[in-house]
Structure 1
Amino acid sequence: MTILYFTLILFLGAIAAGMLGSLTGLGGGVVIIPLLTLGFDVDIKYAVGTALVTSIATSSGAAAAYIKEGITNVRIGMFLEIATTAGAVLGALVAVYLPISSIYIILGITLIFSSVMTVRKKNQSIDYSKPGSKLGTILKLNGSYPTSEGIQNYNVRNVAGGFSLMTLAGILSGILGIGSGSLKVLAMDTAMKIPFKVSTTTSNFMVGVTAAASAVIYFQRGQINPELAMPIVLGVLIGAFFGSKILMRIDVSLLRKIFSIVIAILALQMIYRGIEPSLVEWFPHINFPKI
């Protein structure tokens, strides 16, 4: 019964992770890692390995729908994957040398950043059809996507800046296993001036490729548990499918706000878990609560 209960909770949590990851472009790892580490006390490195598999499933579940709708810019995604894949491999190699407490703290800070990025006010006054960078034109990164008012054309700017941010996103993905969708969306939406809906869906498309690059290294280390990953992947695929359908039909601003608050709370818990050993050492007479 205990195993059945454990599997059911993981499955339901994975559905929520897949749906939220699909709606926000952040990847399902932002829910799965806190669920495993805080809820079930799973070693964080195994949780990261599982979250990488989860991110692949989230991307696979949502990417096909977004590409079919003509929103995702596949060419931009594949170009930027050069940076994120290289960064992901580097991050996965570095992660083995980092103390577990450091990983908790880095993850917590990244989740807070993701939380803020999810609800930040978008700049609606940008003229996306203005001429973009020469490099964007040479690489044929400019594109268009359907809106309620018709086809919207856009031109890509600051390609080099976006490429640099993508390398950082890949490194964080390799270390933390969360897909680093917030940095991907930031690079495309803010640095490269790509419409937010295109940025979000292209981020979803990219997350799986980035995660796959570092997941290979975690698998070789034996830090991906198939019994743990199986119900999560199944749930994430279901959640990502429904999330992609919801995104096409409703305004998800309220959902983003709720999601942001939950992630911020989880982030603070992760940071606390990371600094707890130091607090106990510095203040041995204080009884710090366990999380």
Structure 2
Amino acid sequence: MVNILVILLASSFAGFLGAITGLGGGSIMVPFLVATGVPVKHAIANSMITIIATSSGSASAYVRERLTNIKAAMYLEIFTVTGAIIGAYIALFAPSRYLYFFFAVFLMSSFYGIRHEMGNEILENKVQDRFSKWLELEGSYFDESVGREIKYKMTNAVLGGLGMIIAGLAAGMLGIGAGAFKVAIHELVLKMPSKVSSSTSNFIIGMTALAGSSVFIASGFINLSLAAPMAIGTTLGSLAGTRILNKLSNRTVRLLFIVVLAYLIVQMIYKGVVSLAS
């Protein structure tokens, strides 16, 4: 079993990065646990606790700063919860080796999309389709890094909802909250600003993980000796992350996001190849 102090440190780091990038922390903890010898399905199940803790630790601060768009979160969560429950059932029966490659593929798609947005410091979309306007998917927040109020409007609400079903499937199958995929949909499809994307993702992933974790809890995959220190560490790390997100430039947030993605892509491909060879 992994040392409790090591779990606390790793989960604190995961919560810190998760709160800034919108990844939730599970996408960091799953590869970490697998690398230390925890079976992938057990790592997925216990990482759900990490995701819930990250979301709980960061959500209140981001809502207070108006970074989280509540209306968008509530609309998108309808689709992600449905996908998460279905995905969790699939994960119970799918061979682990295929989960590694599935993880890598959707992370590569996120990497490609966000990489092309690196040059835009602030994305201020002014165009809305009729349905997005009806849902009132818009908002504003004060960006400390540029020292001014940022107003934005979202678009493509229907396409974004369909994308969130796929993100929910990934969340349930991989135990990561699918924050990486959600952030990509927020920015590339819905046209959210980067910081709004990260904070809204953190708000959504807690509910998504809660839906998916119910399946794993019923199946007996949750190990309290892993889940408890992970929850504590992730909560502390996410609280620290919320204090600095709005002070960072949007380019820095995106850079942190794609650096973590690059690591995760390599890690998952390696594990998948090893599992096929064994």
TM-score normalised by L of structure 1: 0.86
Report the Cα distance in structure 2 between the residues aligned to 1:203 and 1:50, rounded to whole angstroms.
Answer: 20
CA 1:144–1:10 in structure 2 vs 1: closer, same or farther (change >3 Å)?
Answer: same
Is the CA contact 1:87–1:171 (under 8 Å) kept in the aligned structure 2? yes
> Which residue in the other structure is 2:6 paired with?
9
> Which residue in the other structure is 1:228 paired with?
226
- Give 1:134 deviation, angstroms: 1.3
Aligned AA (1:151)? E
CA 1:61–1:76 in structure 2 vs 1: closer, same or farther (change >3 Å)?
Answer: same
1:28 aligns with 2:36: no
Most deviating of 148-157 and 170-179: 148-157
CA 1:218–1:120 in structure 2 vs 1: closer, same or farther (change >3 Å)?
Answer: farther
Q: Can you list the C-alpha shifts for 1:155-210, whole angstroms capped at 9, x where unaligned?
A: 22111111111111110000001111122112221111222211111111101011
CA 1:279–1:161 in structure 2 vs 1: closer, same or farther (change >3 Å)?
Answer: same
- Give 1:235 deviation, angstroms: 0.3
Q: Secondary structure at the match of 1:96?
A: helix
Q: Secondary structure at the match of 2:124?
A: coil
> Which residue in the other structure is 1:279 paired with?
277
Report the Cα distance in structure 2 between the residues aligned to 1:78 and 1:204, rounded to whole angstroms.
Answer: 13
- Give 1:151 deviation, angstroms: 2.7
- Give 1:144 deviation, angstroms: 1.7
1:145 aligns with 2:141: yes
> Which residue in the other structure is 2:76 paired with?
80
Q: Secondary structure at the match of 1:124?
A: coil
1:154 aligns with 2:160: no
Report the Cα distance in structure 1 between the residues aligned to 2:119 and 2:129, rounded to whole angstroms.
Answer: 20
Aligned AA (1:31)? I
**Cα root mean square deviation, aligned:** 2.4
**What is the aligned counterpart of 2:101 among 91, 98, 105?**
105
Aligned AA (1:28)? G
> Which residue in the other structure is 1:178 paired with?
176
CA 1:79–1:227 in structure 2 vs 1: closer, same or farther (change >3 Å)?
Answer: same
> Which residue in the other structure is 2:216 paired with?
218
1:46 aligns with 2:33: no
> Which residue in the other structure is 2:130 paired with?
134
> Which residue in the other structure is 1:63 paired with?
59
Where do 5+ consecutive residues of structure 1 fail to align? 281-291
Is the CA contact 1:109–1:271 (under 8 Å) kept in the aligned structure 2? no
Most deviating of 87-96 and 120-129: 120-129
> Which residue in the other structure is 1:93 paired with?
89
Report the Cα distance in structure 1 between the residues aligned to 2:39 and 2:276, rounded to whole angstroms.
Answer: 19
> Which residue in the other structure is 1:189 paired with?
187
Aligned AA (1:27)? G
Aligned AA (1:97)? F
- Higher alpha-carbon Rg: 1
Report the Cα distance in structure 1 between the residues aligned to 2:113 and 2:228, rounded to whole angstroms.
Answer: 30
Aligned AA (1:270)? M
Report the Cα distance in structure 2 between the residues aligned to 1:125 and 1:32, rounded to whole angstroms.
Answer: 29
